[in-house]
Structure 1
Amino acid sequence: MGLLLKFVFFKLIIFFDSFKNSNAITVAEQLKDVIMRGYDNSIRPVINERDVLTVNISLNSMSVLVLDPAEETVTFSSEFILQWQDQFISWNKSEYNITWLKLKESFLRTPDTTVSTSINTNYLIDSDERYVSVKHDGTVRQSMYAVFVNLCDMNVDKFPYDEQTCMVKIGPWTYTLQEVTCVSGPDIEPNEIYFGLTVKRRPQFYVWVLLIPTYIITVVCIFGLFTSTANHGLREERVNLGITTLLSSAVILQIVANAMPKTSQLPLLGNFILAEIFVVAIGVLFAVLVLTLHQRAHTREWKPPAWMLWILRMTGSSKFLSRNITKIRHKNSTAERVNYTGEGAYLFRNLDESLQSVREYIQEEDRDYFRELTYIKFFDRLDFLLLVIFQVGNALVTLFLVKQ
């Protein structure tokens, strides 16, 4: 019986001790009750209404997430540290042995500081879960961590070698300058704070995916337009090749245009692709001109002018391209005919005329053969000359634009 009483008595002691501890409050809670007694978080934390509340803003961290040139926005996550003096809060540090106290942000009056250049702000911590640090002398320190979608006036003239500077403007939203001012240092004039975010593009992706393929396509197209292997076949395939290249270059230009803001000036990469389109288009026009001259040479006995033969170093081949060579040979053959008399003269005369016709036919075939060879040589040299001109011009245009 004695042991049972002792056990019950011990349980009662433990119960009352735990009940006593459950009703006890910590020093921090006592301090919070003291400084929050009579505190009104709906008014500006200054005793004199004419005083200006100075908010010191510093940038603790920043990370760029997305840079959208088409929308001219930059998305970044950053932490701004705000610090100001709350004249309604203070305590004796030696009495409570507490220098800094953590309080919920909703307990105090915080300045409505916002990033005014941002079109969308996503706070990573809910307002009910955010805390501020309060010092014994009334200094309040707030951490504002969020993801911002900030407007950015971009200059993409040198895209993809461009460098953008985006301005981030932060300051009070409803208060005037006479009520709340923001500073970022002791030597800065009170005003709204501007932070400059400078980003430099890495051009390797655009160089390997757009610039180099466009240049290679143009080079291959020029070789296809002015190669000398199609003189015996259908030269119309060269025009088809040029038109296909124009379509592919137009698709690449559309890709660049979709990635850029709609401004009055094309970026550097867009100018390069547009210049390549013009090079191919002019090459196609010259290919059509050569095709027309080739057709006229076979159907209308077109003779190249002397200056063109001189440029192609074919001045000695002009005799094969003469229009009157058939008539000259026909006159010579008529003068060499023999008059037959006597019995059988009619048969011999017919035989001689037949042989003369065969001889003229063979001579005409020889003349056409040499003439065709001369034209093949002429158009081969013309194609090679145009090939060199367009390849050198394309290289110069590329170097000029890329160098800028």
Structure 2
Amino acid sequence: MMLVSLLLINVCAAWDSGSTSASVERENPEKRRPNSGVELYLQVKVKLELDHCHCYEESLVSVTVAWGAGRGKGLTSANYAESNDDGPQVVAGSSKKLTEYLLSRHNLNAPPDGLLDLHYEMELVHILGIDELKQTMTVLVYVDEKWTDPSLSWDPALFGNISKTWIPLSKIWVPDIIIFNMVRASRLQREDLLSAVRAPALIYPNGTVEASHPAVYTVSCEINIKRFPLDDQRCALEIASWTYGKEKIRLHAHTEHSLEHYTDNEEWRLLKVSVVEDEYEHEGINVSELRYDVSVKRRPLFYMVTLTFPSYVMCAISVVGLFARFSTTGEREERFTLGVTAILTMAVLSLVVSEKVPHSSTHVPLLVAYFLFNMISVSVAAMTTGIVMKVHRMGRHGKEPEEWLLRLFCLRPLKIRQGIYTVNADSPFHSSSYLKGLNGELRKCESQPVSEKIPVLESYIHKLARTCENIQDEIDDIDVDDPTAFRRRREANGYVRISERLDLIFMTFFITLVTIPVIVLFYLS
């Protein structure tokens, strides 16, 4: 028992003094078995006593005393170490001692001496959204920073061959790198959740510090609405030190930007991400700066389906309704009402778009310009309908156009049957020089030769004959068994035919006018 007590004293003293005379081995119990009962007793006793005096921390302590012939009669020299199959042996407890050693030398309020080269990498993970009204872009990024601090260096041989260690960022000096055009920032969308997550810095023996964290940045971005919804946007993240100039901190960016973890946005398609190393002057101090440019293109399918296409359909239907017959009788009532309704619909759609895009007096969005174009087209079509209605009404009153006007619209004049009447001067006329008035009184009139009356009579007879023929034709057309005969006769009028031709011409023109912009928009999208 005295031997065991002396053994315990020696082991504890060796451990407290930092000596490596006692060996700590991780052994498989099945492979390491005692050779005698005394050896087993000593192993258990020593382990319990060491456990009681806290002389070891992490590894299994095994002290073996050879007892018996051929094994010696004393305590074997031991070495307290932690075996590592993949690399050099690391002394247990060295990480704690290394951390205490580094923090004792390091001052978190003092930057490293001399020029600090800071390697900064920002990996774009997702574009959360772009607010056109507020002119901001929100992105999720992974930030990696690397710099060298000599006060955080050590010799691995003195600390159990430790090749790297981790220290919380709150315990060391960190460069004050910010995003200058930042509106809002958070480690993630829920700051309270991430605040409980430790994000230590990785430190290497030469003093190289690597710090990384995810972050959500909302940055101001000048939105160009000229080609909305076929617009391309470019938003920049301006990264620099708030305090130190370029003579103290110089930023370096990775030339090859990784998009390994990037996920697409439903509305915006990523074109490219570029980074530029630059510098600017602020209050007489030249500051090193990195500028990450994120170029995106809008996916216009939503706006084309929900706004552009319905607008085109409504305009096309309005144009067809303005220049088509409203009834089988050829009437053209309520055309202006239809035009006004279509214009009001275009105004409502334009109002919806104006609420989506930022208010600007510099440019008019392309989609708003398209709606304005449709409103103007329908307005002009409605006013043109008034001209056609005027021409149609002239034909309903029995007026006939000139022949050249018909030929102008590629129409042939219809032949009108006219009766030819002649007067024979040699035929006897029964005439009287007395005329009976309304009151029955007879008056004597001066007689003229028949030869003088013939020209006057001929003109009156021709007019009377034409009038009678027209009346007879109208009477003949009125047939109870064929009610459309009279309408067909009336539509044979030249002005009515011209109005129908104008309807066809204007309808074709305005349909083409409102179709071309839609084709162009779909082609550009």
Q: Does the alignment reach a TM-score above 0.5?
A: yes
Amino acid at match of 2:102: I
How does the TM-score come out when normalised to structure 2?
0.61
- Are residues 11 and 284 of structure 1, via their aligned partners in 2, closer, same or farther at CA, if it must alter by over 3 Å? farther
Percentage of identical aligned residues: 23
Which secondary structure does the structure 2 equivalent of 1:247 belong to?
A: helix
Report the Cα offset of residue 317 of structure 1: 4.3
Question: Which residue number in structure 2 is paired with residue 64 of structure 1?
Answer: 127
What are structure 2's unaligned runs of at least 5 residues?
1-43, 59-91, 189-193, 256-275, 280-287, 424-428, 437-464, 478-485
Question: Which residue number in structure 2 is paired with residue 390 of structure 1?
Answer: 510
Q: Deviations over 1:5-49 (max 9, x none)?
A: xxxxx9998587166169788321111111111532112222xxx
Contact 1:106 1:127 in 2 (8 A): no
Among candidates 314, 317, 333, match of residue 220 of structure 1: 317
Do structure 1's residue 33 and structure 2's residue 131 form an aligned pair? no
Amino acid at match of 1:82: E
Q: Which deviates the most, 124-133 or 76-85? A: 124-133
Among candidates 294, 307, 319, match of residue 197 of structure 1: 294
Contact 2:278 2:291 in 1 (8 A): no
Distance in 2 between the 1:29 and 1:99 partners? 14
Amino acid at match of 1:146: A
Report the Cα offset of residue 141 of structure 1: 0.9
Amino acid at match of 2:163: T
Report the Cα offset of residue 360 of structure 1: 7.9
Amino acid at match of 2:511: Q
Q: Deviations over 1:31-78 (max 9, x none)?
A: 1111111532112222xxxx2222110123431111222322211100
Which secondary structure does the structure 2 equivalent of 1:59 belong to?
A: strand
Question: Structure with the greater relative contact order (CA < 8 A, sep ≥ 6): 1 or 2?
Answer: 1
Q: Deviations over 1:98-120 (max 9, x none)?
A: 12211111000101111112211
Distance in 1 between the 2:50 and 2:108 partners? 39
Do structure 1's residue 74 and structure 2's residue 171 form an aligned pair? no
| Structure number having the greater helix percentage | 1
Distance in 1 between the 2:93 and 2:112 partners? 27
Contact 1:55 1:183 in 2 (8 A): yes
Report the Cα offset of residue 291 of structure 1: 2.6
Distance in 2 between the 1:118 and 1:295 partners? 68
What are structure 1's unaligned runs of at least 5 residues?
1-9, 333-337, 346-355
Which secondary structure does the structure 2 equivalent of 1:146 belong to?
A: strand
- Are residues 363 and 107 of structure 1, via their aligned partners in 2, closer, same or farther at CA, if it must alter by over 3 Å? same
Contact 1:160 1:203 in 2 (8 A): yes
Distance in 1 between the 2:411 and 2:297 partners? 56
Distance in 1 between the 2:351 and 2:337 partners? 21
**Aligned ranges 1:333-372 → 2 under 5 Å:** 362-363=471-472, 365=474, 370-372=489-491
Q: Once superposed, what is the RMSD of the aligned Cα atoms?
A: 3.8
Which secondary structure does the structure 1 equivalent of 2:126 belong to?
A: strand
Which secondary structure does the structure 2 equivalent of 1:37 belong to?
A: helix
Contact 1:221 1:280 in 2 (8 A): yes
Do structure 1's residue 243 and structure 2's residue 312 form an aligned pair? no
Distance in 2 between the 1:253 and 1:318 partners? 53
Do structure 1's residue 143 and structure 2's residue 177 form an aligned pair? no
Which secondary structure does the structure 2 equivalent of 1:274 belong to?
A: helix
Q: Which deviates the most, 10-19 or 187-196? A: 10-19
Question: Which residue number in structure 2 is paired with residue 351 of structure 1?
Answer: none
Report the Cα offset of residue 257 of structure 1: 2.0
Distance in 1 between the 2:378 and 2:120 partners? 56
Question: Which residue number in structure 2 is paired with residue 183 of structure 1?
Answer: 252
Question: Which residue number in structure 2 is paired with residue 380 of structure 1?
Answer: 500
Do structure 1's residue 291 and structure 2's residue 360 form an aligned pair? no
Contact 1:231 1:376 in 2 (8 A): no
Amino acid at match of 1:381: R
Question: Which residue number in structure 1 is paired with residue 372 of structure 2?
Answer: 274
Q: Deviations over 1:303-350 (max 9, x none)?
A: 556554223233514979xxxx9xx99xx9xxxxx9899xxx9xxxxx
Contact 2:219 2:237 in 1 (8 A): yes
Question: Which residue number in structure 1 is paired with residue 173 of structure 2?
Answer: 109
Contact 1:268 1:401 in 2 (8 A): no
How does the TM-score come out when normalised to structure 1?
0.77
Amino acid at match of 2:369: N
Distance in 2 between the 1:308 and 1:155 partners? 52
Distance in 1 between the 2:326 and 2:250 partners? 78
Distance in 1 between the 2:506 and 2:335 partners? 14
Distance in 1 between the 2:324 and 2:413 partners? 24
Report the Cα offset of residue 259 of structure 1: 1.9
Distance in 2 between the 1:273 and 1:19 partners? 86
